[in-house]
Structure 1
Amino acid sequence: MDVLDVARWQFGITTVYHFLMVPLTIGLSIVVAIMQTAWVVTGKRHYLAMTKFWGKLMLVNFAMGVVTGIVQEFQFGMAWSSYSKFVGDVFGAPLAMEGLVAFMVESTFLGLWIFGWERLPKRVHLACIWAASLASTVSAYFILSANSWMQHPVGIEFVDGKPRLNSIWALLTNNTALAAFPHTVAGGFAVAGTFLVGISAWHLWRKHRDSSAEDPDRRVWSSSLKLGAWIGMISFAAVALTGDAQGKLMFEQQPMKMAAAEALCHTEAPASFSVFAYGDVSRQDCENVKSITVPALLSFLAHNDFSTEVKGVGDLIHQYQAKYGSNYPVDPKLGELSGKPIDYVPVLPVTYWGFRFMIGFGGIAAAAALLALWLTRRGRIPRTKWFPRLALLSIATPFLANSFGWIFTEMGRQPFVVVPNPSGVDGVWMYTAQAVSSGVSVGEMLTSLIALTTVYGVLAVVEVYLLVRYARAGVAGVMPPPTDTEKSEDVLAFAY
């Protein structure tokens, strides 16, 4: 194992872990803002209870997201300094916007929201959570703009061997970013919806099991469950539609990624969509692979018709070699890869199964949301044990779908860290092997990998503990009943 392999494992572990928090923060913050809006407009207690309960869980997740996200910036300089030098003139603008505009607004107004209960006027306090939640979404857009530039470089000129940004507007309106943003936000709402369904279903079942008396907080959980289920259903439909748009861009911009997603080793016209494959998908000739397919569906996903030709891995290898070279440059910084042949094919088992796990877990989450709506129709409460257990387990499915989606997106572009734009400026690409820091040893990289993985493991235990603790506490954990002689304290404001 060399420095490049360890650096990739380190970045993959820390980034996937961090991205577990991102979609929940994006989706849940807006959902909490909607709940508080309903309370301000109607004055109904159960909307206030929903706002405080789900807001508390959102804040725990937000705090962990901030802590784990900071490490990403350090890694750019420590493990990927060559990459940072190459993209620095481009990434400076969107990352500065994310930090100075979006994150500063988000953290400022979130602080006002946390400590502003019963101190700020209701509508001003409501505006704070809306400002924080929308800033969180805008923050995601700036990050996605930077990532989308790596997938499809635009708005630059090539100066002294490095890309230089000459149009921030072109970067921010990159069609790759415009497709990725709604897909990511929809994924965030899918996570939030399933989160609401799982915890609410458990509380409804627990209250019904423990007592035959009417639960005063039953409306909190039933309303949360239905809201979560509807959010889940709508967001999963949005995920499918936006994912289709991304697939068509992938066909144009990164044809090797599309071929790898299907383990399509030979060009087909029309091209079939592989539902399930068995055999050795790691071989680039696919001689031992058998697939259950849907005829012509891949052609439709690629180009909206049922006859388009989709290039296979074998033909694309020759095209890539002709355009970008057959061998790595002779450069001591590349180590063992200096002057060696370039493997333009991503790891097929990772891309093929990552794509299917993304779709599969998303489908399971959508089915769970639909089941929740059906079982709780007309105010019914399921009396069986399997439903709350299934609902709790389903919380993991959209998280897994998001994670596998990102793994597929990033692994599918290999061996590039900056993918060449087929119609863009010649020479603007970077191999992953060129991006890693040259002055870092294997031992140093392994030490940081072990240290960060250990710290992240501890943080995972802490976050799960806090989320479970506050989720189990229910409404009483954020709105304890007032005594006869004193006013109820604002639990949310002093909990953090």
Structure 2
Amino acid sequence: MDNVELLSRIQFAFTVAFHYIYPPLSIGLGVCLVFMEGLYLKTGQKVYEELTRFWVNVFALIFGIGVATGIVMEFEFGTNWAVYSRYVGDIFGSALAAEGIFAFALESGFLGILLFGWNRVSPRVHFLSTVLVALGSMFSALWIVVANSWQQTPAGYRIEGEGMHARAVITDFWAMVFNPSSVDRYLHVLIGAFLSGAFLVISVSAWHLLKGRFTDHARKGMRIGLWVAGIASLLQLFTGHRSADVVTHHQPAKLATMEGHFDKLAPADMYLLGWVDAKTQQTTGLKIPGGLSFLVHGDFTKPIPGLNAFNPQDRPTAINFVFQTYHLMVAIGMTLIALTWFGLFMLYRKKLFDTRWLLILFTGSVLLPQVANQVGWYTAEVGRQPWVVYGLLRTSDALSQAVKAEHVMVSLILFTGVYVMLFLLFLYLLNKKIQHGPYVKVEDPETPPSKFNTIAR
């Protein structure tokens, strides 16, 4: 791997990872907003309206930063990855056009009503706009995942041209959309986004409860967040298993990398934690002997192809990195199941809001889904290497020929500076909104006096 390739991969990974902080939050928060406003329409309780208004403001902040940070990636396709852009242009162009027409237009079109239509449209119309914004964010994720999934499991295409001028052309649009991995990967990504948004609501609600502020709003918000997270955490277990099945059948080298399995054809262990030494081809750690074979075949003794079954140039090089990110994702997923359902149990026992240590735990838990989402994508993308389009186009062949390492380095430094400033601005504004809490007409006796508690609608 030369410097241009390495720096280009680092730059794209950095910009994508930073951008991906925000879309999952907006998708998951959109679902929570639907429940909050739906409960307001059903019960007529003003506390649900005030709760919805508060989280709509947070949603707008997340949406704005997400859009700003996502634009850069599209330019990087042309500047750093020109051969790749030519190769997948027909595929990506169709998917991204569909995202703009069917998803982003829907989401952004009704966002104005969601933000500014409280006193201008009826409650039912406003609720409809909330639902459509939430659906728009989900549709947006759908087309992005479709485009990425085609890189993992290409389908519905033919190759035209040769060498540097070769490109993939769609022969069957729906085969491209419903390629072998798109549905399972989309559901896995979507449930991860639900967890991100729900845990943001849980975290902020727990913090307000610890401070003794906006307690009625916080209790109701935490109930909604816990139920969304509790159901999503169990669904994530199912979608994760389905995604692993897809990897098993279509990307066996990635599967072997995820579990540090080297033997050419032998039963494979499942590690709970461990370390991979690629030089000695040894994996050590806490494991279930034959566990991976059992998950794949239902038999502890069935063989699974290991990394030595593939040519060295056709398998990932960052084996331990993929192993660690994959197992971290699984560990966090299991932790979220335990945490959310213990919280629901304590809610059932009517002890949740008085258990200070648990509220502290929930306040910090907002980071867990974010980390799981990030390392999950690291596993998927680094585990796909050395292919940028699996089995068709190598990453080393997808680079722009005119770009030099120093160009990429300068732009990487500039992007890092800008993104750090954006992130600090995001944290400042988010913290400011959280500190102010929901706007209420009548001062809550449980809430310390503040000018923000008496702002009229």
- Normalised by the length of structure 1, the TM-score is 0.85
Match of 2:337 among 352, 362, 366: 366
Match of 1:489 in 2: 456
Match of 1:225 in 2: 222
Match of 2:194 in 1: 189
User: Aligned partners of 1:171 and 1:472: how far apart in 2?
Assistant: 46
Match of 2:450 in 1: none
Match of 1:270 among 267, 270, 278: 267
Match of 2:305 in 1: 311
User: Aligned partners of 1:438 and 1:273: how far apart in 2?
Assistant: 42
Match of 2:436 in 1: 473
> Is residue 2:67 matched to residue 1:58?
no
| 2:315–2:386 CA contact under 8 A, matched in 1 | yes
Match of 1:171 in 2: 176
**What secondary structure is seen at the aligned counterpart in 2 of 1:489?**
coil
> Is residue 2:209 matched to residue 1:204?
yes
| CA deviation vs aligned residue, 1:192-227 (integer Å, no higher than 9, x gap) | 2221221111111211xxxxxxx7x43321121122
| 1:204–1:381 CA contact under 8 A, matched in 2 | no
Match of 1:162 among 145, 167, 175: 167
| 1:481–1:488 CA contact under 8 A, matched in 2 | no
- Structure 1 stretch 379-388 or stretch 466-475: which is displaced more? 379-388
Match of 2:421 among 441, 458, 461: 458
**What secondary structure is seen at the aligned counterpart in 2 of 1:275?**
strand
Which residue identity lines up with residue 2 of structure 1 in the other structure? Answer: N
Q: Per-residue deviation at 1:267?
A: 3.9
| CA deviation vs aligned residue, 1:16-46 (integer Å, no higher than 9, x gap) | 1111111111111121022111112221112
Match of 1:323 in 2: none
Which residue identity lines up with residue 295 of structure 1 in the other structure? Answer: P
Match of 2:107 in 1: 106
| CA deviation vs aligned residue, 1:309-359 (integer Å, no higher than 9, x gap) | 2111112237xxxxxxxxxxxxxxxxxxxxxxx362330111000001111
Match of 2:293 in 1: 299
| 1:276–1:292 CA contact under 8 A, matched in 2 | yes
User: Aligned partners of 1:88 and 1:304: how far apart in 2?
Assistant: 41
Which residue identity lines up with residue 191 of structure 1 in the other structure? Answer: S
Q: Per-residue deviation at 1:364?
A: 2.6
| 1:144–1:181 CA contact under 8 A, matched in 2 | yes
Match of 1:254 among 251, 254, 268: 251
Give % identity.
31
**Structure 2, unpaired ranges of 5+:** 444-453
CA distance 1:242–1:304, change in 2 (3 Å): farther
CA distance 1:305–1:249, change in 2 (3 Å): farther
Match of 1:240 among 237, 240, 243: 237
User: Aligned partners of 2:383 and 2:355: how far apart in 1?
Assistant: 43
Which residue identity lines up with residue 170 of structure 1 in the other structure? Answer: A
**What secondary structure is seen at the aligned counterpart in 1 of 2:181?**
helix
User: Aligned partners of 2:235 and 2:215: how far apart in 1?
Assistant: 30
Which residue identity lines up with residue 67 of structure 1 in the other structure? Answer: A
CA distance 1:172–1:257, change in 2 (3 Å): same
**What secondary structure is seen at the aligned counterpart in 2 of 1:264?**
coil
Q: Per-residue deviation at 1:292?
A: 2.0
- Structure 1 stretch 33-42 or stretch 436-445: which is displaced more? 33-42
Match of 1:442 in 2: 405
**Number of aligned residues:** 442
Match of 2:396 in 1: 433
CA distance 1:238–1:381, change in 2 (3 Å): closer
**Structure 1, unpaired ranges of 5+:** 208-214, 319-341, 421-428, 491-496
| CA deviation vs aligned residue, 1:169-204 (integer Å, no higher than 9, x gap) | 111112300111111111111112221221111111
Q: Per-residue deviation at 1:268?
A: 5.2
Superposition map of 1:368-387 within 5 A: 368-380=339-351, 382-383=353-354, 385-387=356-358
CA distance 1:469–1:442, change in 2 (3 Å): same
User: Aligned partners of 1:355 and 1:381: how far apart in 2?
Assistant: 32
User: Aligned partners of 1:234 and 1:247: how far apart in 2?
Assistant: 20
